[in-house]
Every structure is written in structure tokens, then in C-alpha cells.
Amino acid sequence: MTNGANAILVSMRRRDHPAVPGMSGRTGGTGPLAAVAGLFTLAQLLLVRPVLGLGWDEVVYVSQVGEQAPAAFFSAPRARGVSLLVAPVASWSTSTPLLRVYLAVLSGLALYLALRAWRGLFPTRVLAVAGALFASLWMTLFYGPQAMPNYWVAVGALICVGCFLRYLSDPTARAALWGAGAGAMLMAWMRPTDAVWVTVPLLALALLRRHGRLLLALVVGLAAGAVEWVIEAYVGHGGLTQRLHDASEIQGGLGWQFAVDDQLRSLGGRALCRPCTGSMPHPLVTLWWFALPLLAALGLAVAVRAGRTARTLLPLACAATAAVPYLFMIGYAAPRFLMPAYALLAIPVADALWHLVRTPGGRWRPVVATVVAVGLAGHLAVQLVVLDRAVDRNTDSRRDWARTAAELHRLGVRPPCLITGHEAIPIGYYAGCASGATAGHNENTTPAEIQGTARRIPVAHLTTTGGTPPRYARPWTPHRIGDLELRIAPAALRDGPS
């Protein structure tokens, strides 16, 4: 078995050259990559629109460094990377449009740098198409300008794997060694557990090939990105094991759970599919998902025939390990969870598409090229339709939060204040109030503490219509706001509504 593994590695060393055959690592230019990144930024600003309010998870991340409201409860699975990412804007401005523009520009720049990391491994035309494929997915466009971690894990994965391969091809390329560590650090900074899953094949290969420097770069990068999360585990969660256990509980308990069908249901534009019930989206919406592994397999076959197996096999392996926990270990789905896998798959898929439309001699196959072009155009149209619906749906929900916050202000619940109950975290943020929960994943207070707070500042509890308020809030004055019932503690009404 050992001899067989060594033979494979020796074969890979012989067949994988520093650059694509017939192309130096410096040819091809970066103009197409910059164009893709620029169009990605422009599309975010035009299609998602900077006026889109902050979502639930964004509120949690932004409130840690912002001034609009007290910091929301920060649960065990979350990492501080996003909060630090938005701090240059959110720490001094409460403008959501400004934050959106900042993130859109930053995400475009990050995509450009991630694609650049692969120069010399694939022709520029392949990298440009790969970038366009990933950037045109509705979830990439939707989450690029949002204060969420998944896009940044995807970018970090591209940088890490690309630089890892470049260093394998040229051990004198110190910049690639630093890049591999930086990509690992970015992933761990955003989501430590995702970073580990993505880098499993890289760590294994570095061990097998005895690349001590690469192994050290990855380990140091992961450790540097996750150190704050680990320290916080011991300071506020009773240790690393307890934090991992708490994170698992919040995610419904990690273990064997088939979530492939849940992911398919989420492709129709659902930000979170929990519980993931209802019918499947139209087949046109999910068609690309089934085509993806087929094209990736074709890309691998092309790479094997061209003698560059490693540079295609490795991103496929990392994409697979990145997807495993979200396909087979949790009982719900969100399309953003698989963004790192989609980013890594985009490169071999783009290579396969170029192989389909051009002969080895470089001549076009007109019929096949037409079919591929029509297919890609249809795919783009479907993605834009799903994106438009997702933006509209989220815009409506966030406007509802803003309207509820305005009504709270009218009833006299103004900062400093506390909101508890249904959707307390986002509504509290929009109202400029702290948020509290006495049970559930966001538990951070007790009924006694809430009653004590109500003697000092305005406190309100929210339930859905027909819901049962907790015992401490039942004597409070009820009000109706849309489909919500609001109860305000008596001390909060001493000045009356304005």
C-alpha cells in the first residue's frame, strides 16, 4: 500500500509542471480577472442594492463593533472575523448603504486576488470563466456585500489551495508559501471549523510528501486565524470542548444526517431552510447543481490526459471535504454553506467547458460552443431571477423590522431599552435597544434580570399573534403591531407615547 501511494506521488511530481504546458506562469495578463472582479462588484451594487437592511446574522456581527445598538448575544459557533472585517466602517458609521458599498468593493478585490493565486496553474481564460461562474451564482451575489462569513471562507479557500499548488510546483516561491498560510488564516478567522474541513486534503498531502514548510504554513495560518476563537472558548464557554459541544447543539447536533435534499430546496432563494420542508424548486433552478459534479469529473479527466492531475484533483478534494459537513452532518440547509465548495469546483468546471468548446489545437467547435453558450446564458438568467426574488423577500422582512422599531419608538421604547421575545435580536438592533432571551440558543438573561431592568429603562416583549407571553410579561400593557403583539413594561410608559 505504501509503495502504491509513493508511486502515485512520484507520478504526480513528474507529470505536474510549474505551469500549463506551453504557457509560462506570467503570460495571459490579469486584465480578464480584473474585469470579472469589477463586474462582480458592479452587479452587487445594482442587483442587491446598498439600501438592503441588515439581516439577523449581520445584526449580530455588526453590533459587536457598531454604535447603533448594544452588542447582541454572540453564540458558540460564531467567530469574530466578520466583526473585524466590518469594523473600519461600522465602528464609526451606522449607514447600512455605506457598509454595503464597502463590502461590495472589498469582495470584488478579494475575488481578483483569489483568482490571481491560480495564475500559472491554469490559463487566464480558464480562471476568468471560473471567476464568472462563481460570481454569477445568486448566493455569491447576494452574500458578497453582506456582513457574513461564507463568501470570505470561499475566497480564503481559493487563495489557500491555489498558493499551495504553486508552492508544490515551485518550492522557491516564498510568496506562494505565505499565500497558503494567509488563505488558511482568513478561513479560520471567519469560520474555524470550515477552515479545518477545507484544509484536510492539503494537510494530508503535505504530510505524505513531507513538505514541512507547507505543513507549517497551514498549521500556523489555521492557528493564527482561530486563536481568538479558542481563547474565547476558555474565557466564556468553559473550554474548547464545551464550545464545540455547544456549537453542535445549536446546529441541531452534528452527526450523520442526510441534507442533500435540504440543500436542493434552499437553491430556490431561501436564506435559511430550517426546518427544510416544502416542495423542490423548479427543475431549471436545480439543473446546474446536478451538472456541477459531471463537469467537475470531466475537468479531472481532461487534467489527467494533459498530465496535470494534482492541480485539478486537489481543489476537487478540498471542495468535497468542505461540503461533507453541510451535506451529511446537519439537519438543515442554507445555500451559503456550500460557497467554498462552489468556488473550488468552479476552476475544474471552467477547464472542462473550455475543453468542450475548443479542440486541443485551439480551434473552436461551433456546434458545441453554441450549446454551451446557450446553456450558460440560461443558467445566468435563472440565477438572476432567483436573486431578484431573494432580494425582494429579504427587503420585505427587514422593512418589517424597521417598521416595528419605529412603532416601538412611538410607544416610548427608545434607547437605552431592552427587547425580548420574537425576533428580539434584529428588531432590538433596528430600535437601538439591547436584546435578551431567557431560553434557547441565544439565552443571555433571566426573568428576574429583565424585571429589574424594566425598573430602570423601557422594556418590551414581542410575540406572534396568538402566542403566549412569558409569565413576567403577561401583566404588561399589550399593543398590536401588524402580526405581532407587543407588551411594554409599566415603567416604560411613565412618559407615555410621543
Residue 175: other Cβ atoms inside 10 A: 12
Cβ neighbors of 408 (< 8 A, separation 6 or more) are 414, 417, 419, 427, 431, 433, 460, 486
In this prediction, residue 378 carries a pLDDT of 97
> Does the pLDDT at position 2 exceed 70?
no
In this prediction, residue 238 carries a pLDDT of 93
- For residues 192-201, average pLDDT: 98
Tell me if 348 sits within 8 A of 312, measured CB to CB.
yes
Q: Which of 399, 429, 423, 409 is nearest to 488 (CA)?
A: 409
Cis-peptide into 447, omega within 30 deg: no
Question: What cell numbers appear for 422 in the block?
Answer: 420574537
Q: Which of 221, 126, 125 is nearest to 167 (CA)?
A: 221
Per-residue pLDDT reduced to its tens digit, 48-64:
999 999 999 999 999 99
Q: What is the mean pLDDT of the chain?
A: 92
Could you tell me the pLDDT band of residue 498, with boundaries at 50, 70 and 90?
very low
Tell me if 299 sits within 8 A of 312, measured CB to CB.
yes
> Does the pLDDT at position 19 exceed 80?
no
Could you tell me the pLDDT band of residue 482, with boundaries at 50, 70 and 90?
confident
Cβ neighbors of 427 (< 8 A, separation 6 or more) are 401, 404, 405, 408, 419, 435, 462
Class of residue 418 by CB neighbours under 10 A (exposed 0-12, middle 13-18, buried 19+) = buried
Locate all alpha helices (DSSP H) within 411-437, ordered by sequence.
424-431
> Does the pLDDT at position 206 exceed 70?
yes
Least confident of 107-111, 290-294, 304-308, 485-489: 304-308
Write 491-496 long-range contacts (CB < 8 A, 24+). 491/454, 491/455, 491/456, 491/458, 491/459, 492/412, 492/413, 492/417, 492/454, 492/457, 492/458, 492/459, 492/460, 493/412, 495/412, 496/412
- For residues 321-331, average pLDDT: 95
- For residues 334-339, average pLDDT: 97
Q: Which of 98, 37, 32, 39 is nearest to 66 (CA)?
A: 98
SS3 119: strand
**Rounded Cα distance, 325 and 327, in Å:** 6
Per-residue pLDDT reduced to its tens digit, 272-311:
888 888 889 999 999 999 999 999 999 999 999 988 899 9
The structural domains of the chain, with segments of one domain joined by +, span 2-254, 401-493
Between 6 and 482, whose confidence is greater? 482
DSSP string, 448-466: HHHHHHHTTS-EEEEEETT
In this prediction, residue 28 carries a pLDDT of 60
Cβ neighbors of 51 (< 8 A, separation 6 or more) are 96, 97, 100
- For residues 322-346, average pLDDT: 96
Class of residue 241 by CB neighbours under 10 A (exposed 0-12, middle 13-18, buried 19+) = exposed
Write 379-385 long-range contacts (CB < 8 A, 24+). 379/136, 379/287, 379/288, 380/136, 382/284, 382/285, 382/287, 382/288, 383/136, 383/137, 383/138, 383/141, 384/47, 384/138
Least confident of 20-24, 169-173, 277-281: 20-24
In this prediction, residue 307 carries a pLDDT of 87
**Rounded Cα distance, 44 and 344, in Å:** 21
Phi, psi of 282 (to 5 degrees): -55, 140
> Does the pLDDT at position 47 exceed 80?
yes
In this prediction, residue 20 carries a pLDDT of 41
Tell me if 67 sits within 8 A of 438, measured CB to CB.
no
Could you tell me the pLDDT band of residue 252, with boundaries at 50, 70 and 90?
confident
Per-residue pLDDT reduced to its tens digit, 395-449:
999 999 999 999 999 999 999 999 999 999 999 999 999 999 999 889 999 999 9
In this prediction, residue 23 carries a pLDDT of 41
In this prediction, residue 360 carries a pLDDT of 82
In this prediction, residue 17 carries a pLDDT of 45
pLDDT over 70 for what percent of the chain?
93
Residue 75: other Cβ atoms inside 10 A: 16
Could you tell me the pLDDT band of residue 5, with boundaries at 50, 70 and 90?
very low
In this prediction, residue 361 carries a pLDDT of 81
- For residues 318-329, average pLDDT: 97
Phi, psi of 333 (to 5 degrees): -150, 155
In this prediction, residue 3 carries a pLDDT of 44
pLDDT over 90 for what percent of the chain?
85
Class of residue 367 by CB neighbours under 10 A (exposed 0-12, middle 13-18, buried 19+) = exposed
